Amino acid sequence: MADEQLHYRVVLTDGQKAELMNLLKEGWGSKQVDNRRVHERVEYWLREVGLEIVHPGGGVGLFLVYPREVSAGGISVIHGAFVHPHSRCKVQMTTTHGKKQLVTGRVVWCNHLRGSLHGLGIQFDQPIDLKLILERKDWPPSLIAATMNASKNFAGKILYIDDQEVEHELLAFYLRNSAVELYRAFDRDQAIDEIEKRYFDLIICDLNLGSGRGEKVISDIRQAEFRGPIIVLTSESTHSRLEAAQNAGATKIIPKPYEPAVLLGLIEECLKSVGAQGGEDPIYSELGDQPGMAQMIGTYLDRVKRITNQLVLAIEKEDLESVRHCCQTLRATGTGYGFPLLANAANQAIIALDASSSIPESQAELERLEALVRRLKLRSNSSASPIATPTSQPAPPSTTTNPPRGS
């Protein structure tokens, strides 16, 4: 899918729109669609999508049309005129984040419905990720199942803030087969203490924390310069409190009780957004197989991520001195912990900064350094990973082992 903005013209009259609504309510689409399609279909009606059609005889038309069903492989829509099968086309869809994006494809069938209305079946050139255009409540069963299975590949550090032991146990259960390092905190003070000790890729927080309020905790976390995503899991339904949580810095709010697949899908999305999983091949320490080094390397990687977080903030503030200081720290320590590539990338960033005395002119080297940091990993078969949650009341681990604290 590619971002693009186009201007479409409405081709349906008010009467046709009313007729269209009747067709949709009657369940149009089930007979027109080829049931041999390999992708699971989902209802997608009562929306407007943009359709760009390249006519075989020449010329391009831009229209607003109404879809009936969508799948990873295509979409069926209602259009106000006949369209030749095999015509090339583009469909402009709206993502769950409100962005307009184009998907290329071709018309594979066109059936007359009523009056001038025709049903079109469009096959996408490449399958799309339905998670981009469907709210989680609308996901098909196959997508939910795939998300549950994908949780086995989750990786990253998560802090869960909730005053209820059973909630910690429940989340640990759902993440039990993943490589997530799950930490727990029961109140504001424990949460801030954990954030000051180590880097987290994601924070999950309730709004009702005994005598405390989650929105205040979220605000304090943001003031502690945590820049990553924060998911709110809560049974709170008061609009003013939910709005306060968003204003304090919450990324997403999910009501309790939650659907496990919905939460896992959002966790996956958040971890990918900060580079905790996916992307290029991981970089492991050259000293990871030496006795006693695994835990030290794990602690060092926490420190590296905190430094990189400070680096990003310094770049945003255009604080050249702080940016250079962060790079110097990474250059000085990388090789000692078995990451010479980190030391080299930091050195290249320093050279660029010294040569230009400009953060914007050194942006390429700084981005390479940030990307490399995201690839630094601790080997999963080491004695220090994955870790158990480091609190006075140990939580059930998110994996099957109980490695040492603080890796």
> Would residue 240 count as lying in a domain?
yes
- Domain extent, residue 348, equals 283-377
User: What does the pLDDT read at residue 190?
Assistant: 94
Specify whether 340 is located in the same domain as 250: no
Domain annotation covers residue 388: no
* pLDDT surpasses 90 at 156: no
**Are residues 261 and 155 located together in one domain of the fold?**
yes
CATH number for the domain harbouring residue 253: 3.40.50.2300
Residues 345 and 368 in one domain: yes
Average pLDDT rounded to a whole number, residues 164-188: 91
Nearest 10 degrees: Cα torsion 262, 267, 270, 276: -150
Mean pLDDT score of the chain: 80
- Say if residue 305 is in the same domain as residue 358: yes
Q: Rounded to 5 degrees, what are φ and ψ at 315? A: -65, -45
Domain CATH number, residue 78: 2.40.10.220
Express each pLDDT in 64-96 by its tens digit.
Answer: 888 888 988 899 988 888 999 999 999 998 887
In total, how many domains does the chain have? 3
Structure tokens at 280: 């290029």
34 compared with 8, residue with greater pLDDT = 8
Q: What is the pLDDT of residues 278-320, one digit of tens each?
A: 555 678 898 988 888 888 999 999 999 899 989 999 998 999 9
- Percentage of residues in the chain having pLDDT higher than 90: 34
For residue 359, give the amino acid letter: I
> Torsion angle of alpha carbons 75, 78, 81, 86, nearest 10°?
10
Q: Are residues 264 and 361 in the same domain?
A: no
Range 176-199 average pLDDT? 89
Residue range 12-26, pLDDT digits in tens: 566 666 666 676 666
Residue 397 forms part of a structural domain:
no
Bridge partner list, 253: 232
Q: Express each pLDDT in 329-365 by its tens digit.
A: 999 999 999 998 899 889 989 988 998 999 998 888 8
| Cα–Cα dist 64/50, whole Å | 5
For residue 334, what is the domain's CATH number?
Answer: 1.20.120
> Does residue 111 sit in the same domain as residue 143?
no
Could you tell me the pLDDT band of residue 375, with boundaries at 50, 70 and 90?
A: confident
Beta strands in 246-355 (DSSP E): 252-255, 283-284
